[in-house]
A and B are shown apart, each in its own frame.
Chain A
Amino acid sequence: MAPKSTSSKATTVSPSSNPVLALWKSYNEQTPDRLRFIDAFLVFLMLTGVIQFVYCVLVTNFPFNAFLAGFSSTVGQFVLTASLRSQVDPENKNEFKEVSPERAFADFAFGSIVLHFFVFNFLG
């Protein structure tokens, strides 16, 4: 903790980048593999969502229902995976007394299947 605070005191030119770098370093060191795997999936989902949104804004939003279906597919999957991540994170064990990690995954699977069902219904 100490070296980080001194570095923040020393460099006052760009205060925002330092916390970000520190965040990145701490994240890399502290998170277990499983959660990083989940985070990779989250990043992938975010990228696809951003691509679809940019396409909608720049080119056309004509089949608006298709855009909503695709975009909310990524957004929905993102939040479900983020929920899974928070439920599986060992630090949050006190919060989720009745939801074991296995139960969390089952919930995640159920929610995702329901989500995809609606997505494909709405798509075309």
Chain B
Amino acid sequence: MLPLLSLLISLVTLVVARSSTGTDVLVIVSAEEQKDYTLFFEDLEGRGYDLFFREPKAEKPVLLDADVPQFHHVLMLASDTKAFASDITPQNIVELLTKNVNVVVALSPKQNLFYTLAPEFGLVPPPPGTPLISYFPERTDPPTVLPVHVAPGPIVTPNTPPVWFSGIPFSVGNSPLLVPILNAPSESFASDSDSTTESIVESVEKGGEGLWAGSSLGLVTGFQVTDGGRALFLGGGAILSDAFANKALPDGSSSGNKQIAHDVSAWAFQESLVLRIDETSHHVVNATEPKEYYTTNDQVVYTTKISRWNAKENEWEPHTGVDDLQLEFTMLDPHVRTGIPEDLARPGTYSVTFRAPDRHGVFKFIVDYRRKGWTHLKSAITVPVVPPRHDGYPRFLSAAWPYYAGAVSTSVGFVLFAALYLAGETKEAGKKKKE
């Protein structure tokens, strides 16, 4: 009910960029903190999203009603809350993700349910109560508030100025579904903010063990769920706050928080870097309709159309420029592995011609395109490959002419022999009769 209404309303409003999955956003934030994020929320609404606010302990609006997700995106900024409502559980959040709902989660040094959620994604938070601390660069702010340099990547706009960050880092596992966006500065470490010196001394004595430090720690990491939504983990919700957006960097320039808030929310809500396969087709060369089964050594043409979501135009447009798309013709193991080059005449269409293997069996055309940050493209079409029919072989082989000649000569010889023999018999019978 609610989503439908909001959809109608949002159709009327003027939009700048919209998500490919929907526009309803549930923001779970406490009332006091809500005022800290007004710039971010304005940015979202300006992009055409409909925001619905909910206190962490409020029972409504629910995330899932009878296993059906009620919103297209969920934004969890209540990082300091310890107790949540009964339907906000790690299991429900995972279930939302599998049902193609995008979730943004802000962690905090206080231990709450997100500390059990993050490890399921391969992200290990440090012990509770150890925020990220850096004594560099020199600045007037406390060590727990630090500027972080933004490394270039496909998600953030290039040349984003450093952003202010306050929160915890986390260790990024080696799951291939993780998309690192912002990593901690190399001179930062996570420690209890009162006793940093003791913790450093301890870890030096232990040879560096136990100190969460370095640039391999993640601060903002995305996660692309297989056949599902996108999850975004923020080390601290403050990176999206107004205060940090307006705060100037130590050297005087403005921070990049507003820009990065825009970029990561665009990625998380499936506006940017979203691909899909429009259609695939396969047929024999010089034919248009797909065959029910192919014969071994057939020349097969496989075509696929890929489009990309254009958030500004609010439509899917053909996606050009993919030069590493790969097709595998597989039966248990790939028998043919070939790149699919772009068809220059039709943008967004990729086509390849290859020879079906000499082996008969049930094969699959598999396209499995996975790049960090981009939606995963998966397509598997099963098709049998049969051996040639009994009349599919060449009819007369030149190497066999002596055998043809021999067989034919035997038959001819037999006929002649029979004729002459019978003639001889009648002659003999005639002779005998005369005698």
Contacts and interface: CB of A to CB of B under 8 A. Distances in A.
State yes or no: do A and B touch (Cβ within 8 Å). Answer: yes
Nearest to A33: B424
27 contacts: A34-B428, A37-B421, A41-B417, A45-B410, A45-B413, A52-B403, A62-B399, A63-B403, A66-B404, A67-B403, A69-B403, A69-B407, A70-B406, A70-B407, A77-B410, A77-B414, A81-B417, A105-B421, A109-B418, A112-B414, A116-B410, A116-B411, A116-B414, A119-B410, A119-B411, A120-B411, A123-B404
Most buried by A among B411, B422, B425: B411
Given A63-B397, A63-B400, A37 B420 contact: yes
A49 B417 CA distance: 17
Interface string B373-415: 0000000000000000000000111011011111101110110
How many interface residues does chain B have, given as a range? 20 to 34
A66 B418 CA distance: 25
Contacts of B396: 124
Interface in A27-67: 34, 37-38, 41, 44-45, 48-49, 51-52, 55, 59-60, 62-63, 66-67
A66 B402 CA distance: 9
Contact of A48 (B400, B409, B421): B409
Nearest to A34: B424
Nearest to A105: B421
Given A63-B400, A116-B414, A124-B396, A51 B406 contact: yes
Contacts of B424: 34, 37
A119 B402 CA distance: 14
Contacts of A120: 407, 411
A57 to B, nearest CB: 12
Contacts of A49: 406
A74 B428 CA distance: 29
Given A48-B406, A120-B407, A123-B403, A62 B420 contact: no
Most buried by A among B404, B406, B413, B424: B406
Most buried by B among A38, A63, A109: A63
B410 A48 contact: yes
A75 B400 CA distance: 18
A70 B421 contact: no
B393 to A, nearest CB: 9
A119 B407 contact: yes
A52 to B, nearest CB: 5
Given A37-B421, A37-B424, A105-B421, A66 B410 contact: no
B407 A123 contact: yes
A81 B421 CA distance: 12
Contacts of A38: 421
Contacts of B414: 77, 112, 116
A55 B396 CA distance: 18
B413 A70 contact: no
A77 B397 CA distance: 24
A62 B400 CA distance: 8
A77 B414 CA distance: 8
A121 B428 CA distance: 37
Contacts of B405: 70
B403 to A, nearest CB: 3
A87 interface: no
A43 to B, nearest CB: 11
B413 A41 contact: yes
A23 B422 CA distance: 29
A73 B417 contact: no
B251 to A, nearest CB: 82
Nearest to A80: B414
A60 B399 contact: yes
A62 B397 contact: yes
A53 to B, nearest CB: 10
